[in-house]
Amino acid sequence: MYISKKDLLKETGISYGQLYRWKREGIIPGEWFIKQSAFTGQETVFPKTQILNRIKAIQELKDKYTLEELAKILSPEIADRYFTTDGLEIIEEIQKNLIPAFVQGFDKNSFTFIEVIIMIALSELKTNTDISLGQITTMVEGLKDYLPQIKFTGFIFIVFDRNNDYYATLYEEQAKVFIDSRLKIIREIHLNDISNKLKLKYRKSFNFRVDNQDDNNLEFNSGEVGVEPV
């Protein structure tokens, strides 16, 4: 059952600005902002029970914790979880021969949830294009300093080809972005799509909490293979 954005704001008493600020901070999952066709074009709806429970929790806790602390409490998959190279081996969507390139590009051996999503996107890119391992490494090096700023998964990952050289950018789904027409877009990937599939498929392996499932009481377990806390 869904609730419209208009009804959500009315029922909870929050403002449009608060709602989208909490989204930017990763307190409300980006995948809960669902676009549906309407007679006026498109409208945003939300899974009703999940969004109302989340906003109630935020309202109860926001005076006790900072937004950053709330993100860690309410969205542990993004804020509080690191994956080791052993964990990467479990994820079938990550090409195993690319793991050394990811380790080199990120210059570390443990990775955030967002970084893992980017690895899956680049693995898909490698499967469908002739991009080299060296180009994968270079692309990771170009992105890595910006990824810590991403607090939720509502971004689109775009890869360009310019004279057989590859570049990438990330932008929020609601943003309007105008791309230089000299750049050929070869991949456009929604991080939410990868996030949803990752959490559903590997929720037992990594004890992901899946908010829109019946068994949404799964908790983070630092003893799981390939996962470690901050």
Domains and CATH numbers, the chain: 2-74 (1.10.1660.10), 82-228 (no CATH)
Do the beta carbons of residue 29 and residue 153 sit within 8 Å?
A: yes
pTM over 0.85: no
Digits of tens for pLDDT over the chain (230 positions)? 889 999 999 999 999 999 999 988 878 888 788 888 877 778 899 988 888 988 988 898 888 888 877 876 776 666 667 899 999 999 999 999 999 999 999 999 999 999 999 999 999 999 999 999 999 999 999 999 999 888 778 789 999 998 888 999 999 876 788 888 889 999 999 888 888 788 778 878 887 755 544 333 333 233 333 444 33
Question: Shortest CA distance to 44 belongs to which of 59, 67, 28, 62?
Answer: 28
List CB contacts of 45: < 8 A, sequence separation 6 or more.
Answer: 2, 3, 4, 5, 34, 36
Q: Are 153 and 192 in contact (CB under 8 A)?
A: yes
Cα–Cα distance for residue pair 6/22, rounded to 1 Å: 17
- The predicted structure's pLDDT at residue 80: 63
Contact 218, 203 (CB under 8 A): yes
Map residue 21 onto helix, strand or coil: helix
CB atoms within 10 A of CB 118: 27
DSSP state for residue 108 in the 8-state scheme: S
Cβ atoms 70, 63 nearer than 8 A:
no
Q: Tell me, what's the pLDDT at 216?
A: 35
